[in-house]
Amino acid sequence: MCGIIAYKGKDKAISVILEGLKNLEYRGYDSWGIACKSNPSIVLTKGVGNIGEVTEEEIKSELYKGKPLTIGIGHTRWATHGGVTKENAHPHQSENHRVAVVHNGIIENFEELKAKLKNIKFKSETDTEVIPQLLQYHMESRKDFEKAFVDTLKELQGNYAVVAIDQQSDKVLFGKVGSPLVIGKKEDEYFVASDIPAFLKHTNQVIYLEDGEYGSIGDSLKIYKLSNNQIINKDVQTVDWNLEQAQKGEYPHFMIKEIMEQRDSITRALEQKNSNLLKVIEMMKKAKGIFLVGCGTSFHACVSASYNFSHIAKAHVNIVLASEFRNYEEFLTDESLMIAVSQSGETADLIDAVKVAKAKGVKIISLVNVMGSTLKRMSDESLLMNAGPEICVCSTKNYTSQLAILLLLAYGFADRLEEGKELIQSAANKVEELIKNNLDKIKDLAKKLKDNKNMFLIGRDLAYPSALEGALKIKEVSYIHAEGFAGGELKHGTIALIEEGTPVITLATPETEQLINSNAIEIKSRGGYIIGIGSKKHEVYDFYIEVPNFKQANPLLMIVPIQLLAYYLAVERNCNPDKPRNLAKSVTVR
């Protein structure tokens, strides 16, 4: 969940690390910290809250002692072990202050390690602090920094990405198991980070680390296998993201920028190599049992896809929440196929599900947005979403990119690939017009609804997963309780919650409008305020948003007004839509 940035290079460690942390704030914004090597000591500063407003001058006043700072580490935290306090903020130091460490993940055996280090006084409540203390323990046994680091990593259990510096060494050490870590390279400068946007301003040349690898940056970069200390030669890859994509530009928030980008991001989702698409489709046709697996927003995309596989390809696919997937392992064989869907490719529950599947010989296809992610590297085949960096914690453009690719696969399964491409592109071309025609109306609706405590969204068929996703967006950023469910379930309990003025968003497709409008009439008779979204207005609606009919591609468009409503509800309620409380972009802990 947390964000890591480390730097070794020229005389600008503070500015690079501060800038990197601001670019990683979507990974955690409870607290932050920076440590730099300043001979003969390590200088350290920490703070609680967002780092976005912290200036370089403030950091320099804390860290700069008139000596060049060329080595440093930084961290922005999403709390897991220990409360949100300055003491719990990273970096953490050893008791003797010789080493400093930043960490993303969870050390599952931290209590056992603390017991081993019983003579050391711990200052925080975190699991992370065992790492620098264990480093000190090994270094006291006359082991040098790098040897002690390797021995420390070998004692850690759980998922981790770790970076460490030593006041008596000019090396930056790093290692990972389960949590993301990527290296950026630019001539005589090196960056180590949780995600590429941390250093994208400086370089797009990256090296992706695999689990069980560690390394050092001294006079040069060296990477090794943790299991046998064997050196590894890694390829440098070029990332085609650009800095402009990772910045807000003229927009007040990343969320609204990313909503507005969806015509282009859906179009880019279609830009798949035909050979790759056909290979994936052939794998699906040969499989005996297909599982669509995801978490949160990605799971909703899977639900929508399952309907389209039925409607278009007359094919059955299983949909499973990644966190529950291990309950299906007895059904898996080497003829099964998993399609794993994730924006980041680092979601812990999904990675765990993939490991369960691979142990049974299941073939893995991934839909992912990050080229060098753990999920992509674990997959037999992968299709990239091509959405560009998505910085807002809640997913918008990646959701519609997932919908587009999954819909394309359904058409491909039915041997109608070109028809699918044309339909999806036609829907994408309507996104800007849809936003333009409804933006002012949605702003007014947000003003009207902002004080409500509860909201419901109902749909049938393809509109049902859109209702699920719409409710999630509203909850995530505005903190209004929103519940999405199938319209046919209304009378099975939920209608008891309808009171005078309760807002209910009804999502109607031409195939379901008669039934869903019947549900809307039932709700209105009990005092509900009906917001209709669809291609045809009905007299039961108190408020109507028109969305053109694009048949099986309707989910691509009907979600856009709800994304906008969620955003403007957040703005009206003075919530930061980019940084919802208690959430982080990439859920790398289970």
Catalytic center residues? 2, 585
- 119-130 exposure pattern, b = at least 16 Cβ within 10 A, e = fewer: ebeeebebbbbb
Structure letter (DSSP) for residue 178 = B
Which among 108, 171, 161, 103 has a CA at the least distance from the CA of 132?
Answer: 103
Beta strands in 420-508 (DSSP E): 454-459, 481-486, 503-507
CA distances from 419 to 152, 228, 426, 429 (A): 56, 52, 11, 16
CB 344 within 8 A of CB 366: no
- Enumerate the β-bridge partners of residue 342: 368
Q: Which of 69, 47, 70, 139 is nearest to 99 (CA)?
A: 139
Residue 513 near residue 524 (C-beta atoms within 8 A) = no
Diameter over CA atoms, the chain: 81
* Amino acid type, 85: T
Q: Please, what is the Cα angle at 8 between 4 and 12, to 5 degrees?
A: 95
| Phi and psi at residue 543, to the nearest 5° | -150, 135
Contacts of 534 (CB under 8 A, 6+ apart): 506, 507, 508, 509, 510, 513, 546, 547, 558
Residue whose C-alpha is closest to residue 536's, from 559, 555, 556, 516: 516
Vertex 473 angle, CA 470 and 474, to 5° = 90
Helix (H, G, I), strand (E, B) or coil at 561: helix
Task: Give the count of alpha carbons within 13 A of 202, CB side only.
Answer: 28
Structure tokens at 166: 């030593």
User: In this structure, which amino acid lies at residue 36?
Assistant: C
Looking at the DSSP assignment, which residues form a beta bridge with residue 265? none
Q: What angle (nearest 5°) sits at the alpha carbon of residue 104, between those of residues 194 and 106?
A: 150
- How far is residue 257's CA from residue 201's CA, in Å, rounded to a whole number? 19
The whole-angstrom separation of Cα 26 and Cα 21 is 9
Find, among 310, 307, 300, the residue nearest to 467 by Cα.
Answer: 300
